[in-house]
Amino acid sequence: MAAFQHILFPVDFSDRNVHIAPYVMCMARRYKARTTMLHVMEIPSAAYPAWPEYSLQTDLPAVRDERKRHLESFLADEFQDVTVTRVMLEGEPAWRIEEYVRDQGVDLIMMPTHGYGKFRRFLLGSVTAKLLHDVNCAIWTSAHTPEAPAPPAGYRSVLCAVDLSPASLPLVRWASEFAREQGAALKLAHAIPAAKTPVAFDLEGDRFRGFLFDQAHAQMAKLQQEAGTNLDSVVEGGDVAHVVADAARAGQSDLVVIGRGIMQHTLGNMRTNVYSMIREAPCPVMSVCV
């Protein structure tokens, strides 16, 4: 379940970090969670061909000191009423963050996705992508809008995307508990890619799509019975990411909850859907390992 105890906020001192800081503070306050602001200073490997030149031209101790000072002052005013531990490490960012999560019992990472502007929906930062693939904790990723959001008071409308696989049951239970803790309304959404609306009349196809919808509604009812819920749900034909994004917009959702696997588990096409749902979502996304 949720009830987060240790939130990790990786920072690179960018505007993207500033934009999601209100969300981090809101989550930290609500759960009275231990919060760590982590900066990873990336240094070229000794095996890197340009290393000798880099080491000669760069005063590494001075760079370390400057980064530490920046970390100590970064968002200091914004986090005045939240206790934050500030940690700096060196190495490859994704690997060091993954190691810190494993060793320090982090149960929620909050970080922005990569990219603003015209082509933002096609971009997902390499660090974010690797953590989504490798770590075994919840990851909150920001909606990638350049405008700073108003500080949230908490979530009021949550959409949970389910694929009706066995993993959907623990996901719905997790989302139900999270929504209860937040005082939020919860809705379910399921996409049927094979039931996408055709561009022309297709009688046999319509019959098959009808069968798929009947099966999906029956599975959704069974899922809710097992989860002990009676939630509103949306079942639509089409691409998974598009169906979820449209449902979030229609319901004015302020958070989408999705499930994901980790590298050691069989993922099928879940990894692709996770990335695309995060890219397309009109609001922040909470991805949970199930």
Q: pLDDT tens digits, residue range 203-258? A: 566 788 889 999 999 999 999 999 999 999 999 999 999 999 999 999 999 999 99
Cβ atoms 272, 163 nearer than 8 A: no
List Cα–Cα distances, 175 to 2, 103, 128, 162, in angstroms: 8, 26, 22, 11
202 contact partners, CB below 8 Å, separation of at least 6? none
pLDDT-based confidence at 60, cuts 50/70/90? confident
pLDDT digits (tens, 9 = 90+) for 127-143: 888 888 889 999 999 86
The reply to whether domains 1-148 and 155-290 share a CATH topology is yes
Domain 1-148 CATH assignment equals 3.20.20.70? no
Q: How far apart are CA 186 and CA 181, in angstroms?
A: 12
Full-model pTM: 0.87
Name the superfamily (CATH) of residues 155-290: HUPs (3.40.50.620)
Lowest mean pLDDT among 84-98, 102-116, 170-184: 102-116
Query: Apex CA 70: angle with CA 69 and CA 73, to 5°?
Result: 90
116 contact partners, CB below 8 Å, separation of at least 6? 16, 144, 145, 146
Query: Apex CA 127: angle with CA 171 and CA 284, to 5°?
Result: 45
Extents of the domains making up the chain: 1-148, 155-290
